[in-house]
Amino acid sequence: MADRATAEKWLDQLANLPTASGHEGAVIDWVTRWVGRRDDLELSTDSGGNLFITQKGRKANDPVFAVAHMDHPAFVLSDGGGGFEFRGGVDAPYFENARIDVVSRASGPSGRVTSYDPEASRGTAEFDGDVFEGDIAMWRFRDTRQKAGLFRAPACDDLAGAAAAIAALDKARDRTDLRNFGVMLTRAEEVGLIGAIHAAKNRTIPEGARLLSIETSRELPTARIGDGPIIRVGDKVTMFDRDLTNRVCDAVANSSIRHQRKLMDGGGCEATAFGVYGYRATGLCLALGNWHNRGNLNEVEEGASDAAVPKLEEISVADFHGLIDLLLVAAEAVDSEDSRVERLDNLYESNRAILS
């Protein structure tokens, strides 16, 4: 069962792997090895390459999946001449003369972006060595030091979510009441929730499954790094499943887990896709600094900065461990009763005479 040090080791390993939409192979290989060392777990892949990790044996209840995505915004080289496609949402100023490094190969070459078309999400770069179609590149980050209480890495979004989900599953393996708890890891989220949509449209998610959709979401003035993991009631598109969200909120309120309950509308979330196609999903997340590696993002959006500075993403270490605990409470809570019905019935019975 994962202790704190082990969970942090998995976080560090996953969040530093090279990954991009459609090129999640390094993450898939890591997960495959992780599952292979545990004979009570099973790994399956659907027709879109999404991963499902489940526990062997009989289950008393319908499945509950912690869901995270395996990709992160990155440059994908389209040819040996330095042409690239950028897969993910990042503002154009971050590409101006940007220094980038090929990270999918040991000692990959370095380069500089020479052109970028934000409408097509394509550009060119000059490199100091050979590049090949399918190479993954990321910005060169100036400050790679860790900070007290924070974890900093190229791809917290959403590999921190994947690490938390895996750590929670490792803890759940010792609990007979959570045999129905598993992990779903999706592909190509950063280019439009494509892996999640594929799984939902093609019904590769088991019918009756309840989904705890995890994200690392842009820190907001009302949702700060270090204030605890977040029960995400919705995103910029929609609200999530009311009943699931209520059950999770009630259970966590009765726990000792420091947490937040927020509408995180800085971006979209896979829970939206699941809900649209008829699955029951709610959201959990970590507040994220330097979202999509965009340092000084507020200033860039406001036009108040002359230079966009790529930076490592960062999360709170305490929030990360809180999310692991929150996932276990939430996995149990989805099969509990919603206490609001009883409370409202009692309130009505106590006061309905007023209507006479």
Q: Tell me how far the alpha carbon of residue 82 is from its chain's centroid.
A: 30
Domain for residue 61, yes or no?
yes
Tell me the residue length of the chain: 356
Interval 200-227: pLDDT, tens: 999 999 999 999 999 999 999 999 999 9
Residue 184 has phi, psi (to 5 degrees) of: -120, 125
Q: What is the pLDDT of residues 35-59, one digit of tens each?
A: 999 999 999 999 999 999 999 998 8
**Same domain? 223 vs 310:** yes
DSSP state of 166: H
Residue 234 and residue 105 in one domain? no
In percent, the amount of the chain with pLDDT more than 70 equals 100
pLDDT at residue 9, rounded to an integer: 98
Q: What is the pLDDT of residue 143?
A: 82
pLDDT for res 60: 85
Q: Is pLDDT of 33 > 90?
A: yes
pLDDT value, residue 133: 96
The better pLDDT of the pair 164, 336 is held by 164
Q: Do 211 and 266 belong together in one domain?
A: yes
Q: Minimal CA–CA distance to 290: which of 309, 303, 317?
A: 309
Q: What is the pLDDT of residue 144?
A: 84
Boundary (domain end) residue, out of 139, 169, 194? 139
- In this predicted structure, the answer to whether residue 305 has a pLDDT above a threshold of 80 is no
Confirm whether 347 is domain-assigned. Answer: no
Report, as an integer, the average pLDDT of 337-354: 90
Angstrom distance (rounded) from CA 138 to CA 203: 34
Q: What does the pLDDT average to over 276-292?
A: 97
| Inside any domain, residue 214 | yes
**25 & 169 share domain:** yes
Predicted confidence (pLDDT) per residue in 225-252, tens digit: 999 999 999 999 999 999 999 999 999 9
Q: What is the number of other CB atoms lying within 10 angstroms of the CB of residue 214?
A: 32
**Mean pLDDT across the chain:** 95
Same-domain status, 33 and 160: yes
Separation of first and last alpha carbons in the chain: 59
Pair 191, 133 in one domain: no
* pLDDT for 306 beyond 80: no
Please give the residue range of the domain that contains residue 204.
4-72+146-340
User: Please, which contacts does 349-355 make with residues 24 or more away whose CB atoms are closer than 8 Å?
Assistant: none
> 267 and 235 in contact (C-beta within 8 Å)?
yes
Q: CATH number of the domain that 312 lies in?
A: 3.40.630.10
State whether 300 and 234 are in the same domain. yes
Picking from 139, 173, 196, the residue at the C-terminal end of a domain is: 139
Whether residue 43 sits in one domain with residue 65? yes
Query: Can you tell me the mean pLDDT for 75-80?
Result: 95
Task: Provide the domain count of the chain.
Answer: 2
**308 is a domain residue:** yes
The answer to whether residues 118 and 41 belong to one domain is no
**Same structural domain, 278 and 230:** yes
On whether residue 356 sits in a domain, the answer given is: no
Query: Closest Cα to residue 67, out of 86, 51, 82, 56?
Result: 51
Task: Please check whether residues 113 and 244 belong to one and the same domain.
Answer: no
pLDDT for position 341: 84
| Whether residue 120 is found in the same domain as residue 224 | no
- Whether 348 maps to a domain, the answer reads no
Q: Is the pLDDT of residue 343 over 90?
A: no
Give residue-wise pLDDT tens across range 327-342: 999 999 999 877 788 8
What does the pLDDT average to over 251-276?
Answer: 94
